[in-house]
Chains A and B, each alone.
Chain A
Amino acid sequence: MLRRQILQMGACTLAGLPVGLLRAQQTRPRKLVVVMLRGAVDGLSVVAPHGERAYAASRPAIALAPPGAADGLLKLDNLFGLHPSLGMLKRHWDGGSLAFVHASGSPDNTRSHFDAQDYLESGTPGRKSTPDGWMNRLLTALPGQPSPTRAISQGSAPPRIFAGPASVASLGLGPKAMDRRAIDNPALQAGLARLYANDPTLNATLADTTAGRSEMARSMAEADREPRAMDPTADAGAQSARSFAADARRLGQLIRKDVHTQLAFTSVGGWDTHVNQGNAQGQLANKLASLGAGLDALADGLGDALRDTVIVVLSEFGRTVRQNGNGGTDHGRGNVMWLLGGPVAGGQVLGEWPGLDTAALADGRDLAVRTDFRQVLAPVLQGHLGLSDAGLALVLPEAPTAWAQAGRLLRG
């Protein structure tokens, strides 16, 4: 019922109607954080199908042991188990706020990292000419009022997913990301504004910079005044200072403190495990442990706001079912999407599972894609963020709209 109300509200807003409803919505702003794993994470190790005989057989050196065995998978259900390095996320699964959609991905069968990432970010698989990213279109289509910090991009360079005309604030990496900088000096800002007056694009970037930074500084100043529990991954100490966990926590805090922030994006690279990816120990296990700690820190930083936030974790494609000649995996197709947050109907692995029989594999080698990533995003955009049908068509044009499991993804 709530969902229907929100859908109606979305439609009203697009038609330029009740501001009162918008205010009501802003008291509990709905939020979406997208975390992109660049380099194609091995989804068959993240949520491993231990119940499939072909799983261990295809991966003699890198398959994870079944649940219950030493260093074994953390049991999710009779078919799937979570990588043992992701133990920090198990509490979210057990608490009903972490779900997965397996055998999902892009309908375009490219195995190029760069094209596949581009499609995931443009939201238009197979079409390279799309100039903007789907999160920027979402920013335009989202019901409610614009704000300089309504969307935050974390990192030093602008991601494709936020490319487009709507303003996006940026948050740098590292413990000094929120420090005062030369550009915060009003006299210099005024001079820059005069200097940029004839350059529309740089002028717009400058306006986004100054407005976004002052808003973020205000929000963070409030966050700093609050007492906080001791934080083992906080910025102190050189090793963790630049870690994903510290950056993710900072992003979470910023989102929590800024009532205007509704969309955020961050990414983590280094998943292209062609060689010796390991199993319960090794390269991938280490990366996943740091990612798990980071997502947990993000959830922690979000605090109360987690109940109004959906975190989506996705990667451009999956990796080969069979290990390659070097105890690694090559580029594949289907992967697993992760959804975390209060609105998520957690504790379930969704998605139609095609199985690992050779006949079921894409090109005889890869997990097939049975669920389009946009089929998973659509219920989040509509049911959670209140996007209308017209808004959805703008954000994800020509996307498959129906998904049999859409109604099971979020809490009622």
Chain B
Amino acid sequence: MISRRRSLAGLSALAAGSMAWRPGMAAVGAAPTAAERAAHALNRLAYGPRPSDALAISQMGAGPWLDQFLAQQLEPRLIPQPPALAQRLASLQVLQMDQSALLGRYRDALKAAREAKREQAQGMAVDADAQNAVRNQVRPLVAEAATARLVRAVHSPAQLEEVLVEFWFNHFNVFAGKGPVSVLVADYESRAIRPHVLGRFRDMLGATARHPAMLHYLDNERSVVNGYEPPRAARRLIAGQPELKARVPTGLNENYARELMELHTLGVDGGYTQRDVTELARILTGWGIDQRQALQGGHGDLFRFDAAKHDAGNKVWLGHSVGSAGQAEGERALDVLAAHPATARHLAYKLAQAFVADVPPPSLVSRLADRFTSSAGDLKAVTRSLIESDEFWSAEAMGAKFKSPYQYLISSLRAVDAPIAQPQALLQALAQAGQPLYGAATPDGYKNTAAAWRNPEALTQRVQWATTLSSRYPLGAQALLNTLGASVSAATRATLAGEPAPQQMALLLASPDFMKR
């Protein structure tokens, strides 16, 4: 399937290209076996093997299993969802509510808590439910969002989709700790990210730009034309309430415009200036949330372009003259950004880094960037290029990535086939490890390199987790070795065999082979 000549040419280019390109678990030059390739696919395009995967590989043979797996993963809609998973997801309220109901829940909880605080200050008896409204009404929705993410990551057979959802959510990160983003993360993930991970990048870019979670997280809903005055009715309402008046936006906020170019599209070296940041912020004024619809309820998206908040003046942005055109200015700006060569390079680098190596092979980065451009940002085409590349399947790539805390946790749950009854302990473990789910406060999300995660504290926590898991699911090392298959080297197997039986399973979960993927 893969030409040996091309593969060797790729390798020598890589060896010359980067010091981070170190041999993984397989010997340099030796072509990986079908079993190793199957294990590699499960470690990179999925969250590691489960016992059922090992069984399927042994029944079908590694080669045919891998062909089938790869063919399926790029078409996640055609993979049937197991009934137990579908049932679990259907039981999660947060996935059934629409944006105005979610925001309504947040608003009511906040109001009740504020009332309770005020009444308490006045010495009145306070209803405990009201006092704890945020804890009781809002946090369960965030916990449900996290449950949905975790059960899918562990149990969904459409594993590549889950890996890509994690990647693209992180790329367009929003933080559940910032106000109403808490109740919106699930909707953001399922409507702005998930539908597009194998679709068009421009569609995902637009969906994130218009989603209330992003509009709030990076403040664009508050960015308005300089000197903006609210409509007369609102002015009357505000007149008597100075604390409301202070919250009325009066001008630009650069936050989203900057991160849109720096993180979401062009990349920090994409060739824009501070002037371009300010001009893009002007272009995007008026992109906000329909507060009236949010109050009234009803279905549909809450995005609204408000012409009164928009800066209708002429702009010069990235060398383009932008005349007054309302919302269309921003849509055109997103078109320009999505089609920009710097965006193609930036996204190609990030994908190659996440899927192949911390310092990715330059040959692969440029090929993926070319594919991005030639396919007009078709992420299925780009992903296909990635997983058909020689670099992805090279011996050097195998086991070369150090797992993030999230990847370590999910892969361990899959390896021991653990059910997820209550996610609280898992969420705490992620928070303790520095990777709380939906809890990346800054818009760059989490890093996926070894340098960002490997240190004594991480090792301490992983060994703790390995020990806990092996006492809770005492399958024994042999059963676990069968599941992990070719992910575990011969050397590790030999060392393990000499260890005292009671600690073999914990050692295996804490082995270099399982820390990496």
A-side residues, CB < 8 A to B, are 38-39, 61, 110-115, 153, 155-158, 160, 163, 168-174, 181-183, 187-188, 191-192, 194-199, 201-202, 205-206, 208-209, 212-213, 269-270, 272, 274-276, 324-328, 330-331, 363
Contact = CB atoms under 8 A, between A and B. Distances in A.
A277 B329 CA distance: 30
B247 interface: yes
B350 to A, nearest CB: 13
B458 A156 contact: yes
A31 B430 CA distance: 32
13 contacts: A114-B444, A155-B457, A158-B453, A172-B432, A181-B464, A182-B466, A188-B467, A191-B499, A194-B499, A195-B512, A324-B251, A325-B251, A330-B254
Interface centre among A61, A194, A275 (most CB of B within 10 A): A275
A325 B223 contact: yes
A197 B498 CA distance: 14
A110 B247 CA distance: 29
A194 B495 contact: yes
Contacts of B506: 182, 188
Q: Would you list the 8 A-B pairs with minimal beta carbon distance, nearest first? A: A325-B251, A156-B434, A209-B456, A158-B455, A170-B457, A182-B467, A157-B434, A199-B512
A106 to B, nearest CB: 14
Contacts of B499: 191, 194
A307 to B, nearest CB: 29
Contact of B500 (A160, A187, A269, A328): A187
B408 to A, nearest CB: 13
A326 B249 contact: yes
Given A114-B268, A163-B451, A208 B456 contact: yes
B457 A195 contact: no
A183 B464 contact: yes
B453 A112 contact: no
A188 B461 CA distance: 14
Interface centre among B226, B274, B457, B468 (most CB of A within 10 A): B457
Contacts of A269: 441-442
B88 interface: no
B226 A325 contact: yes
A181 B464 CA distance: 7
B153 to A, nearest CB: 21
A188 B503 contact: yes
B503 A187 contact: yes
A325 B459 contact: no
A213 B463 CA distance: 14
A197 B492 CA distance: 10
A327 B244 CA distance: 12
Interface in B486-513: 491-492, 495-496, 498-500, 503, 506-507, 510-512
Interface string B216-252: 0001001110101000000000000000001101111
A136 B407 CA distance: 28
Contacts of A201: 450, 454
A209 B459 contact: yes
Contacts of A326: 219, 222-223, 249-251, 253
B512 A188 contact: no
B262 interface: yes
A157 B458 contact: yes
B253 A330 contact: yes
Contacts of B515: 202
Interface string B246-284: 110111111100100010000010000010010000000
B511 A195 contact: yes
Contacts of B456: 168-170, 205, 208-209, 212-213
A209 B252 contact: no
A260 to B, nearest CB: 16
Given A325-B249, A326-B253, A183 B454 contact: no
Interface centre among A202, A325, A328 (most CB of B within 10 A): A325
Given A172-B461, A192-B510, 5 more contacts: A111-B258, A182-B506, A195-B495, A208-B456, A324-B251
Q: Is the interface on chain B under 10, 10 to 19, 20 to 34, or 35 or more residues?
A: 35 or more
Contacts, number: 162
Given A269-B442, A272-B442, A202 B454 contact: yes
Nearest to B500: A187
B253 A195 contact: no
Contacts of A111: 258, 274, 277
Contacts of B451: 158, 160, 163
Given A195-B496, A201-B454, A326-B253, A156 B268 contact: no
A202 B512 contact: yes
Given A326-B253, A330-B253, A157 B453 contact: yes
Contacts of B247: 276, 327
A67 B418 CA distance: 61
B452 interface: yes
B333 interface: no
Contacts of A198: 491, 512
A13 to B, nearest CB: 27
A182 B464 contact: yes
Contacts of B291: none
Nearest to A274: B255
A181 B226 contact: no
B460 interface: yes
Contacts of B467: 182, 188
A47 B143 CA distance: 40
Contact of B512 (A160, A196, A213): A196
A38 B252 CA distance: 23
B251 to A, nearest CB: 3
B112 interface: no
A172 B461 CA distance: 10
Contacts of B228: 325
A188 B507 contact: yes
Nearest to A154: B457
A153 B507 CA distance: 26
B262 A153 contact: no
A363 B454 contact: no
B433 interface: yes
Given A182-B467, A188-B503, A325-B228, A110 B268 contact: yes
Given A181-B464, A183-B460, A213-B456, A325 B507 contact: no
Contacts of B461: 156, 172
Nearest to A115: B268
A112 B268 contact: yes
B507 A191 contact: yes
A112 B262 contact: yes
A331 B254 contact: yes
Contacts of B496: 195
B252 A325 contact: yes
A224 B360 CA distance: 48
Given A115-B268, A199-B512, A213-B456, A191 B503 contact: yes
A163 B247 CA distance: 42
Given A172-B457, A201-B450, A275-B219, A328 B253 contact: yes
Contacts of A112: 258, 262, 268
Contacts of A39: 442
A174 B455 CA distance: 17
Contacts of B457: 155-157, 170-172
Interface centre among B434, B463, B500, B503 (most CB of A within 10 A): B463
Interface centre among B253, B456, B461, B512 (most CB of A within 10 A): B456
Given A153-B455, A326-B253, A61 B507 contact: no
Given A39-B442, A201-B450, A325-B250, A195 B507 contact: yes
Nearest to A169: B456
Nearest to B222: A326
Given A275-B253, A325-B228, A326-B222, A192 B463 contact: yes
Contacts of A192: 463, 507, 510
Contacts of A187: 500, 503
B454 A113 contact: no
A155 B434 contact: yes
Nearest to A113: B442
